[in-house]
Amino acid sequence: MREKATRERLVIGCMSGTSMDAVDAALVRICGEGLAMTVEFIDGASEPIAEERSVFLETVEGRAAPTGALRSAIHRLSERHAKVAKQLMETHGEVAFVAVHGQTLFHRPPLSWQAIEPWTIAHAVKSPVVFDLRAADLAAGGQGAPITPLADWIMFRDETASRAIVNLGGFCNVTVLPAGGSPETIRAFDVCACNQVLDAVARRALDLNYDSGGANALRGQADPQAVRELSDMLRAQRHEKRSLGAGDEGARWIDAWIDRLDGACLAASAAAGIGNVIGETVADAGDVFLAGGGAHSAALVSAMEKALGRMVQPLKILGIPGAWRESVAMAVLGCLCADAVPITLAQVTGVQIPPVAGSWVNVR
């Protein structure tokens, strides 16, 4: 009897993170099913988020964006998802489905909103779309976040080395994978606001959307008192042991210091405070690998390494480029949903019984 061929799927995963800078899409080859799947990154495409970003920021910051403007922004965001997915499909052919996270506009469990129009995407790409990945966990009593740890385990676990996957996104979250551990051994948690603070400093003090490469922070001088106050605020976020979202962006600290420091020194203080807290949080977590936009900030990475007492490494050496880690994870989570495997973990989100997640639309 011939051995049954291993199932293979091409899947696109899409992510627009809390930094709201772009829609990233990753084309991924998935071999096998469920927790036994293997993952290969094939290609990625990215589309900047443009005029809709200001509307999303108004919403996230609790200001009253007009309903029509918000609805239009969500539609434009969904069109950007369709554009990057179609770009990958034009190069590589049809896919089994597209998995989308949507744009988080509010997160305070049990309430959370990942805005997206799945039908807009499905009609454009002529492929099934799975979305609304957090809702099942929230409805079952969980925090709905962090959402990527099981995907991290599938992609990055090692039999002999403990690893920490640190995502330097709008909020920093960490997945700790003990050597040779099962899914039940995974530790994962939100740490603190990260790019939310750095980008807000750039907008308010430097008149920039973001501090590219941490260049301004590198030329500034961190203020010791400002660093201590920010570190204390961010440690409090970490010690609350909850998923972070609305109200956790660090605006109070910026308000207190923006008129006392010039832009570069404020940026340097922000990078130092954030790096302190993240570095000390993962000090005992094994080898540290960085993903997310904050990994490009030399000032933030340097502050992390100083607090950690050793060097960190880019995620790409494990086979997945850090810039695509979250979109690849969405593809993996979508496959778990398709295979009827719960994507969240009780010890991570606090849900008592992890549910099968995901809502599906399909254009026939």
Question: Domains of the chain (ranges plus CATH)?
Answer: 8-146+321-361 (3.30.420.40), 149-311 (3.30.420.40)
- Per-residue model confidence (pLDDT) at position 57: 82
Q: Which residues contact 149 (CB under 8 A, 6 or more apart)?
A: 175, 186, 188, 345, 348
- Per-residue model confidence (pLDDT) at position 65: 76
- Tokens 């998995």 appear where? 99
- Per-residue model confidence (pLDDT) at position 272: 94
Query: In order along the chain (364 residues), what is the average pLDDT of each group of 10 residues?
Result: 67 88 94 95 93 85 82 94 96 96 90 94 96 96 93 96 92 93 93 89 90 92 94 85 62 90 94 93 90 91 91 92 92 97 95 96 86
Q: Which residues contact 224 (CB under 8 A, 6 or more apart)?
A: none
- Per-residue model confidence (pLDDT) at position 185: 95
Type of residue found at 255: D
- Per-residue model confidence (pLDDT) at position 247: 60
- Per-residue model confidence (pLDDT) at position 4: 46
- Per-residue model confidence (pLDDT) at position 3: 43
- Per-residue model confidence (pLDDT) at position 22: 87
Q: Which residues contact 121 (CB under 8 A, 6 or more apart)?
A: 78, 81, 82, 85, 98, 100, 129
- Per-residue model confidence (pLDDT) at position 237: 82
- Per-residue model confidence (pLDDT) at position 171: 86
Q: Of the candidates 196, 175, 193, 172, which has an alpha carbon nearest to the alpha carbon of residue 185?
A: 175
